[in-house]
Each structure stands twice: as C-alpha cells, then as structure tokens.
Amino acid sequence: EPEVTQTPSHQVTQMGQEVILRCVPISNHLYFYWYRQILGQKVEFLVSFYNNEISEKSEIFDDQFSVERPDGSNFTLKIRSTKLEDSAMYFCGRRLAGGNEQFFGPGTRLTVL
C-alpha cells in the first residue's frame, strides 16, 4: 500500500491565524482529497482535487479554505482565518488514476486556541 505522508503531524495556532497543511505526493497519484474528523465525530469530506482544479467540494469547504498543488509539489490545504471549530484531524487522501481505493495519510492534528 503506498505510503501517504502529511506535515506537520500536529499544529497549534491562535484563532484568526492562517495555517497550511501539507500532503506529500507520490508519483502516479493524480487525485487528491482532504477530509477532517472533529474529535469523537465522523470523518467528513472537504474537497477533491484533480489536474490543478477542485472537482468537488462539500458545504464545509467555504471561502476560508483553499487547496493547491503548485508545480506538482505538495498538495496543501490552507485555512485563512482559523476558528475554534476548525480544531480537528485533517486527513489527506490520494488515489491512483484508474484506481478505486483512496490511500489516507496519518493526519495532521490542528488545535486552534
């Protein structure tokens, strides 16, 4: 199973600050996803990304969120002005072209104070 890595493993920030979470790419993975899991709750879909474009997003993914993969480098999730309720585990998912399953990273724990 392809290894998926995410950085940082834990991020602590003050409310209102910007954070960037990173997902390290593996060649042949063309489809990227972000999910989040608030402590004790379900895993929730945020956004899917393919060919440098958002292909699908949930209602959670509002104007405070953005994703990009500049120049084929890390796939990032940016939260512009964090709120207390953004505290959660954020998981990056990746899928091979033509593949069915998604491979998830170990997650980044975001704590907003």
Partner 1 sequence: DAKTTQPNSMESNEEEPVHLPCNHSTISGTDYIHWYRQLPSQGPEYVIHGLTSNVNNRMASLAIAEDRKSSTLILHRATLRDAAVYYCILRGGATSGTYKYIFGTGTRLKVLA
Task: Give me the residues that bind partner 1 (CB under 8 A), please.
Answer: 1, 4, 31, 33, 35, 42-45, 48, 55-56, 58, 91, 93, 95, 100-107
Q: Which residues contact 82 (CB under 8 A, 6 or more apart)?
A: 13, 14, 15, 16, 17, 18, 19, 110, 112
Least Å distance, CB 107 to partner 1, is 5
Which of residues 81 and 111 has its CB atom nearest to partner 1 in the complex? 111
Q: How far is CA 87 from CA 13, 50, 70, 90, 101, in A?
A: 10, 26, 26, 9, 27
- Between CA 41 and CA 32 the distance in angstroms is 22
Least Å distance, CB 2 to partner 1, is 10
Which of residues 82 and 108 has its CB atom nearest to partner 1 in the complex? 108
Least Å distance, CB 47 to partner 1, is 9
Least Å distance, CB 35 to partner 1, is 8
* Residue whose token pair is 């890390």: 74
Tokens of 106: 């170990």
Which of residues 57 and 71 has its CB atom nearest to partner 1 in the complex? 57
Which of residues 20 and 30 has its CB atom nearest to partner 1 in the complex? 30
